A and B are shown apart, each in its own frame.
Chain A
Amino acid sequence: MKPVPILPQPNAAVVPFYQSPAACGFTSPAADYLQDTLSLDQLLIRHPAATFFVRAKGNSMEGAGIFDDDILIIDRALNPVDGDVILALWDGELIVKRLVYRRGRPELHSEQVGYAPIRLNDEGRLDVWGVVTEVIHRLR
C-alpha cells in the first residue's frame, strides 16, 4: 500500500493547475504565463460576507429563467434598483419577484402568465431581503 500525502484543502472547489513537471532541463515555456486557477466563487460572488444561497420553489418566475428547485445566489450588499429580481419579505413570507417601479411606487411582478403584480398600498411596507444575482439551473 502506498501512503497518500494528505494536506488540508484550502478551498474545496479548486481546479489544480500544475507547474512544469520537468524537474531538470528546460522549464516549460508556459510557466511564465501561469495564472490562478478558475474559481466559480470568483466568478459568481462579489461580496462573500453578504452572499447567500436559497432554493426557489414554484414556477412564477420562469420568464426570468428561474425554475422550480433552482439555486439562487443572493447578494445583500447590492441596493435593489428598478428591474432587479429580488427576494422580498411580503406578508410574512420570503418570495422571489421582479421589482418594478410604477409612478414612483414599487411593485412586485411575476414572470408567468396568470400572476397579477403585487402593488403596495400606502401602509404596505416592502422589505427587500436581497438582490438575486445568479441562477444555478441543473440540466441533468
Chain B
Amino acid sequence: MGSGNGSYSPTTVKPVIALCDANSFYCSCEQVFNPALLGRALGVLSNNDGCIIARTPELKALGVAMGTPTFKVREQVLRGEVILQSSNYALYGDMSARFMSVLEQFSPKLKVYSIDEAFVDLTGLPVKELHATGQAMIQRVRQWTGLPIGVGMSSTKTLAKLANHAAKKYPGTGGVVDLTCLARQRRLLEITPVGDVWGVGRRIGKELQAVGINSAAQLADSNRQWIKKRFSIVLERTVCELQGESCIAWEEGGLANKHQIMCSRSFGQRVSTHQALHAALASFISRACEKLRSQHRFASTAIAFVRTDPFKEGVLRTSRSIKLMTPTPTSDTRLWLQQLPAALDILFQEGFEYKKAGFVLLDLCSAHNIQGDLLAETATNNTRMMTVLDAINQRFGRQMLRPASVGFATQRWHMNQRTVSPAYTTNWREILSVRA
C-alpha cells in the first residue's frame, strides 16, 4: 500500500487528501484496555476533573453535552448509568503516536493535525481504490491499536474534513466517505449547514445565515471577492477550498505550527498564598520554555494569568492577566522568570482563593526570522545552559533540575485526578494484568 510512486506530475493528477480521526479518542483509549467500559456511557474529564471533554456515543445519547461540569452528572454516576474517568494523557499520547504510525504506512506524507486527527496525502492513488484504501485504514488502525476511526477523502483539506464529518454522521457509510466525485460533493454540500464547515464556526455561521447563506453549497457558490470584502481573507480561502481549489498549505496549522504555547492548570486545591502562586507560575514558565526550546523557537511576548473559580458562589472572584515582554525573542527560562516577581505584584491579591493560573508564550518565531536589536543582549545566544538543562531532565526525569523558584515542597496545586486509569503503555509497573 502507499501512494508515493513519484512518477505522476502534480499538475495533471488531482490531489487526494484523507482526513483520518479517531472516534471519541480519549474514551476509545480507555476502552481498549478496560473492556468493562465497552458500550457504556463513558466520559473523560478535563485536567482537573472539572468537566467532560470526551464522550462515547452512549453518553451523547443521554444528552450530556461537551463541557458539562462534572457535578451535573453526579446523580447518574451514583446510579451507575454514567462512568467518568480522569484524563490519562500518558496513555492518550502513546496511543496517538501508534495511530499516526499506522497511518504512515499508507502514505509517507502525513500531517498530524491534533492528538486524534491527521491529514494523509493519497494523491496518485487510482480513484477506484480510494474507498477500499479508506476501509483498509480503518481496519488496520482498529486491529493494530484497537481504536475506531473515520476517514473522509477529497481534493482539499476543507472538503476532506467535510467528508470525514459525513462519515461520522451517517453510519451507513461504514466510516468512509470518498468525496472526490463532484456530483457526490455537491449533494453533501447542499445538505450541510454552513456552520458545520471547517473554519466557519458558530459566530460566522450566524453572520452568513443573516445574509442568506445557509448551506455549505451556498457558501461554495459565493463570490470570493465579496466574501473577502464582507468577511475575511480566511473565509475566502474556505470558499476556494469548498470549490475544490487547495488554499490551505500542507504544513499549515496543527501541532507543529501553533502560534502559542500554553501551560496552565486548574489547581487541585485552592491556592491562596503568594508563595504557592509564584511556585505554580514558575513551573509553568519553565515547562513552556522547555516546549519552546524543543521546537527550536523563541518568543518575545507572553501572558501570565490567574483566576478564581468563576462558578463558585459566595466567594470573592477575580481574574487578572498581564502581558510580559523581552527585548528580543528568547527561549531562556531565566529571562522570563526574572519578570515573575513584578508580574505577581500585579496579579496576586490577598484574600482570594485561586483556582487556575497559566503562562502563554506568544509571537513564536524561529531563529531565522528573529530581528536583531542593537541595544539588547542577544538573548538567543544564551541557549547552551538551557540545552544542558533539558538534556539532564530528559535523561533523569522531568523537574530533576529546575529553577529554585519552582520550589521543592509537595505541589498542592497539582492535577486533581481521582479516577485516572493506569499508564498501561508507558510505565512497567502499570501494565495491564490479564488472567492466564
Question: Which A residues contact B (CB, under 8 angstroms)?
Answer: 6-9, 47-50, 52-61, 66, 68, 70-72, 76-77, 87, 89, 92-96, 129
- Residues on A with C-beta less than 8 A from B425 are 52-53
Within 8 Å by CB of A50, from B35, B98, B394, lies: B98
Per the bound structure, the CA–CA distance linking A8 and B290 in Å amounts to 14
A and B contact pairs by CB, cutoff 8 A, 16 listed: A6-B395, A8-B390, A8-B391, A49-B98, A49-B101, A49-B144, A52-B424, A52-B432, A54-B431, A54-B434, A59-B436, A77-B143, A89-B35, A92-B35, A93-B35, A129-B146
Within 8 Å by CB of B434, from A47, A76, A96, lies: A96
Against A, the Cβ 8 Å flags (1 = close, 0 = not) of B381-416 are: 000000010111011000000000000000000000
Per the bound structure, the CA–CA distance linking A56 and B390 in Å amounts to 37
**Which residue of chain B has its CB nearest to the CB of A47?**
B144
**Which 7 pairs between the two chains have the least Cβ-Cβ distance?**
A50-B144, A56-B436, A96-B436, A49-B101, A49-B98, A58-B436, A94-B434
Is B145 part of the binding interface, using a Cβ–Cβ cutoff of 8 Å? Answer: yes
Is B435 part of the binding interface, using a Cβ–Cβ cutoff of 8 Å? Answer: yes
Is B61 part of the binding interface, using a Cβ–Cβ cutoff of 8 Å? Answer: no
Known A-B contacts A9-B395, A76-B144, A76-B146; A94 and B388 likewise in contact (beta carbons under 8 Å):
no
Is B211 part of the binding interface, using a Cβ–Cβ cutoff of 8 Å? Answer: no
**Which residue of chain B has its CB nearest to the CB of A12?**
B395
Min distance, Cβ B323 to any Cβ of chain A, angstroms = 33
**Which residue of chain A has its CB nearest to the CB of B140?**
A77
Per the bound structure, the CA–CA distance linking A76 and B101 in Å amounts to 14
Within 8 Å by CB of B432, from A54, A58, A77, lies: A54
Q: Are A57 and B436 in contact (CB under 8 A)?
A: yes
Min distance, Cβ B260 to any Cβ of chain A, angstroms = 25
Q: Are A56 and B434 in contact (CB under 8 A)?
A: yes
Per the bound structure, the CA–CA distance linking A93 and B434 in Å amounts to 8
Per the bound structure, the CA–CA distance linking A23 and B299 in Å amounts to 43
Residue among A6, A54, A68, A89 with max Cβ neighbours from chain B (10 Å): A6
Name the interface residues of B337-381: CB closer than 8 Å to any CB of A.
Answer: none
Contacts A6-B392, A60-B435 supplied; 9 other A-B pairs, CB < 8 Å: A49-B97, A52-B424, A52-B432, A53-B425, A55-B431, A57-B433, A70-B436, A92-B36, A96-B436
Is B247 part of the binding interface, using a Cβ–Cβ cutoff of 8 Å? Answer: no
Per the bound structure, the CA–CA distance linking A77 and B145 in Å amounts to 9
Per the bound structure, the CA–CA distance linking A50 and B59 in Å amounts to 28
Per the bound structure, the CA–CA distance linking A89 and B97 in Å amounts to 24
Is B102 part of the binding interface, using a Cβ–Cβ cutoff of 8 Å? Answer: yes
Known A-B contacts A50-B144, A71-B431, A93-B35; A60 and B436 likewise in contact (beta carbons under 8 Å):
yes
Min distance, Cβ A115 to any Cβ of chain B, angstroms = 11
Q: Are B431 and A94 in contact (CB under 8 A)?
A: no
- Residues on B with C-beta less than 8 A from A56 are 433-434, 436
Q: Are B434 and A48 in contact (CB under 8 A)?
A: no
- Residues on B with C-beta less than 8 A from A72 are 434
Q: Are A93 and B433 in contact (CB under 8 A)?
A: no
- Residues on A with C-beta less than 8 A from B98 are 49-50
Per the bound structure, the CA–CA distance linking A70 and B432 in Å amounts to 12
Min distance, Cβ A5 to any Cβ of chain B, angstroms = 9
Known A-B contacts A8-B395, A92-B36; A76 and B436 likewise in contact (beta carbons under 8 Å):
no
Per the bound structure, the CA–CA distance linking A47 and B140 in Å amounts to 12
Per the bound structure, the CA–CA distance linking A49 and B99 in Å amounts to 7
**Which residue of chain B has its CB nearest to the CB of A76?**
B144
- Residues on A with C-beta less than 8 A from B143 are 50, 76-77
Per the bound structure, the CA–CA distance linking A70 and B428 in Å amounts to 12
Per the bound structure, the CA–CA distance linking A23 and B340 in Å amounts to 50
Q: Are B395 and A48 in contact (CB under 8 A)?
A: no
- Residues on B with C-beta less than 8 A from A95 are 434-436
Known A-B contacts A7-B391, A8-B394, A95-B435; A48 and B101 likewise in contact (beta carbons under 8 Å):
yes
Within 8 Å by CB of A61, from B35, B146, B432, B436, lies: B436
Q: Are B388 and A6 in contact (CB under 8 A)?
A: yes
**Which residue of chain B has its CB nearest to the CB of A94?**
B434
Name the interface residues of B95-127: CB closer than 8 Å to any CB of A.
Answer: 97-98, 101-102
Q: Are A50 and B391 in contact (CB under 8 A)?
A: no
Q: Are B391 and A6 in contact (CB under 8 A)?
A: yes
Min distance, Cβ B165 to any Cβ of chain A, angstroms = 26
**Which residue of chain A has its CB nearest to the CB of B432?**
A54
Known A-B contacts A8-B391, A8-B394, A93-B35; A50 and B145 likewise in contact (beta carbons under 8 Å):
yes
- Residues on B with C-beta less than 8 A from A68 are 436
Min distance, Cβ A13 to any Cβ of chain B, angstroms = 12
- Residues on B with C-beta less than 8 A from A94 are 35, 432, 434-435
Known A-B contacts A56-B436, A57-B436, A95-B436; A49 and B431 likewise in contact (beta carbons under 8 Å):
no
- Residues on A with C-beta less than 8 A from B431 are 53-55, 71
